[in-house]
Each structure stands twice: as structure tokens, then as C-alpha cells.
Amino acid sequence: MTDSEHKSMQHKKRMQSVKEKVDQRIDDAQEERGLIIVITGNGKGKSTSGFGTVARAVGHGLNAAVVQFIKGTWACGERNLLENAGVSFAVMATGFTWNTQDKEQDIDAAQKVWQHSKELLKDDNIDVILLDELTYMLSFKYLDLDEVIDALKNRPINQHVIITGRACHRAIIELADTVSEVQSIKHAFDHGIKAQKGIDW
Ligand code: ATP
Ligand code: MG
């Protein structure tokens, strides 16, 4: 056997062993139920990941709803697309809290959109809910943590929930099934480049 034949055989053996392990794990993963997915961290890509999952679900004919807890001053490209595909959107009525500087008004707006979220979290016709930027509502204490945990725990068994935002509360991380932290290596904004349509909003 030549050296290259030997290497090729060794590679095949290693790949076979990897395949067996992966197949075993696929066979073992039999449980089917709704998931809580958290996308947190300081890097760019949290909301786009949430919207991407909503698009994926809608592509399979699932029913999805989006709740946006912090509305920016810009329109949202995903909304233009997904509303046409039957996804309901609820958006907090105020802008960024550092723009409004009116805490009572922000709390009121957060509570209103949370009441709507609670209805969605009871509705077993909704397969996927994106709670975009929910984490800030808990950091600012605009919403009651126990109430949020309770609503998440008691949702329909097959309903998926995606939660995005920086600095996710550890109690939500503990409750979640899948948690990803997006790390910022660099961002165009730090180099003086303004937010770009279709990329940042
Ligand atoms: P995206 O909506 O692009 O997925 P995100 O949800 O991860 O971003 P947010 O913290 O919600 O990030 O911020 C929304 C806006 O801020 C976006 O325009 C995004 O490009 C920008 N942004 C995200 N991360 C950073 C960062 N590390 N530095 C500067 N701007 C950022
Ligand atoms: Mg975001």
C-alpha cells in the first residue's frame, strides 16, 4: 500500500467513526417539542437570526408572530417582507428609551406589548414567536421576570419562542433550550460607517 493509499484509508476510517457517532446522536434525539432559543451578546446578528428563523418556519407553512420590544427610528425590512407572508407584528409604541427619556411612558408601552405577547404565548395556533429585544425589558425592570418566566413555561407544548437582545437574564438562559452568544469582533459603525438599509435595518 502506498503512503497516499494508507492516508486515504485512515481518513475513511476516521470519517466512518464520526458518522457512526453522529448517526447515534440523531437516533437518540427523539423528543419533539417547542424550544426556547436565546440569541444574546454584543455582536451584530441577533435580530437577523431571529427573523431568519421566522422566515424558515414560514417557508414550511408554520404560523409565526413577531413582537418588537424596542422600536428604532427606522422601518424594518423584515416586517415589509414577513407581514406580506402572513406574520403578525406588534411593535412597542415608543422609540429607543434613550431617545424618549420618559420612563413611565416606556413602561406603559412595554406592558401593552407584553400583554399581547402573553396572548400569543397561550395561542396554540402560533407555532413560532419572536420576542425581539425582550432582554432589555427585563434589564430595565419594565417587565416582571417571574411573570415572563411563567408565561414561557406555560406556553403550548409545541410552540417555539426566540428571544433576542444583549445581556439576557440568567434565569431566561437557564430556562432556554438553545442559547447562542454573538460576539463582536468589529463593527462598521465603530469606523464611522452609518447604518445601511437592508443590512442594519
Ligand atoms: P441585527 O439586527 O443586525 O441582527 P442585532 O440585533 O444583533 O443586529 P442590536 O443590538 O439589536 O443588534 O442592534 C441593532 C442595530 O445596531 C443594528 O443596526 C446593528 O447593525 C447595530 N449593531 C449591532 N451590533 C453592533 C455593534 N457591536 N456595534 C455597533 N452597532 C451594532
Ligand atoms: Mg436586535
CA-CA distance, 63 to 173, in Å (whole number)? 25
Mutate to test the pocket of ligand 1, among 39, 44, 69 (most ligand atoms within 8 A of CB): 44
How far apart are the CA of 39 and the centre of ligand 1, in A?
A: 12
Q: What is the pLDDT of residues 161-178, one digit of tens each?
A: 999 999 999 999 999 999
Residue 48 Cβ inside 6 Å of ligand 1? The answer reads yes
Residues in the chain, total? 201
* pLDDT at 76 (0 to 100): 86
CATH architecture of 33-182: 3-Layer(aba) Sandwich (3.40)
Q: What is the mean pLDDT of residues 140-157?
A: 97
Residue in the block written with cell 469582533: 185
Torsions phi, psi for 39 (to 5 deg): -120, 105
Q: Ligand 1 centre and the CA of 125: distance in Å?
A: 31
Q: What is the average pLDDT across 148-152?
A: 98
Q: Measured in angstroms, how far is the CA atom of residue 104 from the centroid of ligand 2?
A: 23
Query: Relative to the alpha carbon of 167, which ligand is closest?
Result: 1
Predicted confidence (pLDDT) per residue in 54-112, tens digit: 999 999 999 999 999 986 556 789 999 999 999 999 998 765 555 667 788 888 889 99
CA distance 109 to 70: 10
Please state the domain extents for the chain. 33-182
Ligand 1 neighbourhood includes 52 CB (under 6 angstroms) = no
Q: Closest ligand 1 atom to the C-alpha of 188?
A: 29
Distance CA 162, CA 39 (A): 8
**74 in ligand 1 pocket by Cβ < 6 Å?**
no
The model scores a pTM over 0.95: no
Average pLDDT, integer, range 178-201: 92
Kindly tell me if the per-residue pLDDT of 180 is higher than 80: yes
Q: What is the whole-number distance in angstroms between the Cα of residue 5 and the centre of ligand 2?
A: 51
E strands, 41-184, in order: 64-68, 88-91, 128-132, 160-164, 178-181
Q: Is the CB of 42 under 6 A from ligand 1?
A: yes
Compute, in angstroms, the gap from residue 132 CA to the centroid of ligand 1. 12
